[in-house]
Amino acid sequence: MAMNRIQFQAGLSMPAFFKDYGTEEQCEQALEAVRWPAGFRCPRCEGAAHYVLRDGNRKVFQCRGCRHQASLIAGTLFQGTKLPLTTWFLAIYLISQVKTGLSALALKRQLGVSYPTAWLVHHKLMQAMADRERRYLLVGNVQVDDAYLGGERSGGKAGRGSENKVPFIAAVSLTTTTHERYDQSFRSDRTRFATHRRSATRGAMKK
């Protein structure tokens, strides 16, 4: 049987994750690189010269020109959080690695936080990913098929007419080499309930 390239694609192991994002300083450096790839720019005057200050445990950039201060987490989904960035990054890793999804309760146990905190983190990350995926459209060679999701109820009707099955339509956009680019799924009433991009993203770090 041929190997499924999607199933066996290279990923990020947990030891590798902790090596790259195991400390608060590493997470700050990663977030800074995403926010300002070419170096800090003042959001008010676009100046590059700045000082680095500390507001408690948070990194703050102060523009040398206009003296405007910009927090590293301001304008991101981390804004206002009291959790360390290491907790947020671990949550991003855990949610992104589970193909079948990770519940807020499971996230609570993995992170060692309260359930309300885990629910909020889970909600923010899922919303950020959903917002990012809305920017992608299926283009080029698009293949469409329909299917039914769900199982047979005890004593219920089998097959397509089962009361416990939801009809949906799945569409996939292929590259010129027939590799999967994006896939989107819709319920029969055209309400989107799942969208996936196969390549790794950093969208969860941006608001």
Let me know whether 28 and 48 are in one domain.
yes
Residue 4 maps to a domain: no
Q: What range does the domain containing 85 cover?
A: 14-133
As a three-state string, the secondary structure of 79-141 is: CCCCCCHHHHHHHHHHHHHCCCCCCHHHHHHHHCCCHHHHHHHHHHHHHHHHHHHCCCCCCCE
Let me know whether 129 and 164 are in one domain.
no
Let me know whether 22 and 63 are in one domain.
yes
For residue 3, the model assigns a pLDDT of 66
Residue 2 maps to a domain: no
How many Cβ atoms from other residues are within 10 Å of residue 111's Cβ? 19
Let me know whether 199 and 125 are in one domain.
no
Residue 31 maps to a domain: yes
189 pLDDT tier (thresholds 50, 70, 90): very low
Residue 105 maps to a domain: yes
205 pLDDT tier (thresholds 50, 70, 90): very low
Percent with pLDDT over 70 in the chain: 73
| C-alpha dihedral, 51 to 69 to 27 to 135, nearest 10° | -130
Let me know whether 34 and 99 are in one domain.
yes
Strands 58-63, 192-197: pairing is: unpaired
Residue 5 maps to a domain: no
Could you read off the pLDDT of 60-119 as tens digits, one per residue?
Answer: 999 999 999 999 998 899 998 999 999 999 999 999 888 778 999 999 999 999 999 999
Let me know whether 24 and 121 are in one domain.
yes
Let me know whether 96 and 167 are in one domain.
no
Residue 185 maps to a domain: yes
Residue 182: is its pLDDT beyond 60?
A: no
| Total domains, the chain | 2
Higher-confidence residue: 44 or 140?
Answer: 44
Let me know whether 180 and 90 are in one domain.
no
Residue 7 maps to a domain: no
Let me know whether 195 and 112 are in one domain.
no
142 pLDDT tier (thresholds 50, 70, 90): confident
- Long-range pairs for 6-15: beta carbons < 8 A, 24 or more residues apart: 6/180, 6/198, 9/198, 11/97, 12/93, 12/97, 12/200, 14/93
**What is the rounded distance in angstroms from the CA atom of residue 201 to the CA atom of residue 108?**
24
Let me know whether 31 and 93 are in one domain.
yes
